[in-house]
Amino acid sequence: MEIDTTFLTLGALMLLAGYAVTIYNSLVRLKHQVARSWADIDVLLKQRHDELPKLVDACRQYMEYERETLERVIAARSRVADAREHQNMGELGAAETELRAGLGRLFALAENYPELKASESFQHLQGRISDLENGIADRREFYNASVNLYNVRIEQFPDLLVARPLGYGPLQLLEFDARDLEDVNVGALFRS
């Protein structure tokens, strides 16, 4: 009788250990999915970071009276790069909002410069940056879905019994300012 109880206890402990390992492996997979989705965003941010100076240089040749707008884009680009390097999602979201507003203003002001609009280099760079913006938005959606799934799992029972002792903490979503979701008032961009 004592041997049967020992085998049952060992069997139950083995099942629990196996279940804990399954939970652990699942959390590791989620953590790496978040890291991979961040890496996808990071690649696009780096590509856009490299393209923006070319766009500013193309605009600078034609937009001599729009120095403030160009400087805003350059400053926002720098803040995005700093937040990206430190993986500070809160700061990155705010810096992205500034950069997108600056780019929107720059593209709207470009309408006042027919030579700039006709420039093949400007058209190429504008299209390239727009494509990168769309890619960032798509990757951000996947990143946030991955982070949300991870955050839910580390708070659910029984996963939290494995996650907390191993130091799995919540991750921050990449959120942009609510202004990013509003329609752009192009008329106001020309007046300011």
Task: Provide the residue type at 168 as one letter.
Answer: Y
Torsion sign, CA atoms 36, 38, 39, 41: positive
**Tens-place pLDDT, residues 19-41:** 999 999 999 999 999 999 999 99
How far is 92 from 88, CA to CA, in rounded Å? 6
**Model pLDDT, residue 72:** 87
Top-confidence residue, 186 or 83: 83
Top-confidence residue, 183 or 160: 160
What is the set of domains in the chain, with CATH numbers? 2-191 (1.20.1440.20)
Percent of the chain at pLDDT > 90 equals 51
Residues 6+ apart with CB under 8 A from 129: 48, 51, 52, 55, 103
Q: Mean pLDDT over all residues of the chain?
A: 86
Q: Exposure of 17 by Cβ count < 10 A (0-12 exposed, 13-18 middle, 19+ buried)?
A: exposed
* Confidence band for 2, pLDDT divided at 50, 70 and 90: low
Torsion sign, CA atoms 57, 192, 100, 81: positive
